[in-house]
Structure 1
Amino acid sequence: MLKAIRNLDYTIILCQDVAAMKRFYHELLGFPLYRDFGNWVELQVGASLLTLRERGAGYDGVREHDGPAPQDGTSALQLAFRVTPAEVDSCFSELRQKDVTILLPPTNQASGHRTLFFKDPENNVLEIYADL
């Protein structure tokens, strides 16, 4: 690893529909809006930023490598958000009330995690988990 690297600052999700993804992450999940440039939206998640970028709208020399969107029903990535064990269940209740697609309800895993899996509007897999 390069010794100068000390922190993961932001993660970018390449999006087909930035507005729909912003509604999901900002309005439904409640992540605070940091900056909004239309086709580039930054949301605060703890000490990091979760960035939504329109596929094909990045910097010259980079956007050309975005590649095609995943096929319908498949995901491009998985993100995991850590909470307390009790919060896994309360998050599950909130997500169900908001009609979010649940992939796996709260489950105690052999790995020592309590997990909850669901999808965002573009089929990315999201996990809320806690150490047991």
Structure 2
Amino acid sequence: MSEQTPLHRTTSPFSAIRAIDYTVIFVRDMVAMRRFYQDLLGFSLLRELSPNWIEYRVGGNTLALARPSRTAGDTPTPSGSASLQLAFKVSAPEVELCADELVRQGVALLSPPTDQPFGHRTLFFRDPDGNLLEVFAEI
């Protein structure tokens, strides 16, 4: 009786992944989050599958706002805690324009437009659920 040798894979099947197709933000306050991403940031509504799942087109990707349900029975992230950080890339002059618009809309900036030593101009702020958002440009 011969011993069977386990198959050793030389590459991961996940190496076939070429892009992030969509990102889901689990929300606490859908009304405030929708107003923020759609009205304030001006993201284009892609589709609304239900009041608990709304998708926006952001460049070549989809950003979905969702209330946890089928696959995630997790308790909501406590208020005051960020669940994620999203970074949105723009041109260098647009960083300042975005900062001005956020301030005009009453959004507090965590960090004003700042040139970083690693070659980015960054701007940080939070969405209504407390997630950390960044607008940046390569400089």
- TM-score, reference length from structure 2: 0.86
Larger Rg: 2
- Residue in structure 2 matched with residue 15 of structure 1 by the alignment: 27
Aligned to 2:66: 53
Q: TM-score, normalised by structure 1?
A: 0.90
Extract unaligned runs of 5+ from structure 2.
1-11
Structure-to-structure mapping, 1:95-110, within 5 angstroms:
95-110=102-117
Match in the other structure for 2:42: 30
Equivalent positions of 1:48-87 (< 5 A) are 48-55=61-68, 57=69, 59=70, 62-64=71-73, 67-87=74-94
Aligned: 1:112 with 2:119: yes
Of residues 37-46 and 14-23 in structure 1, the stretch that sits farther from structure 2 once superposed is 14-23
- Partners of 2:57 and 2:108 lie apart in 1 by 23
**Superposition misfits of 4+ residues, deviation over 3 angstroms:** none
Matched residues in 1 for 2:31 and 2:115: separation? Answer: 34
1:5 equivalent to 2:14? Answer no
- Select which of 53, 57, 65 maps to 1:40: 53
After superposition, the CA RMSD in angstroms is 1.1
Comparing 68-77 with 8-17, which one deviates more in the overlay? Answer: 68-77
Give unmatched runs, 5+ long, in structure 1. none
Counting aligned pairs with the same residue, the percent is 45
Query: Could you list the per-position Cα deviations for residues 41-95 of structure 1 after superposition, in whole angstroms to 9, with x for gaps in the alignment?
Result: 000000000000013x2x3xx122xx22222222110000000110000000000
In structure 1, C-alpha distance between the alignment counterparts of 2:113 and 2:94, rounded to whole Å: 10
2:99 alignment partner in structure 1: 92
Match of 2:5 in 1: none
In structure 1, how many angstroms separate the alpha carbons of the residues matched to 2:67 and 2:100?
Answer: 31
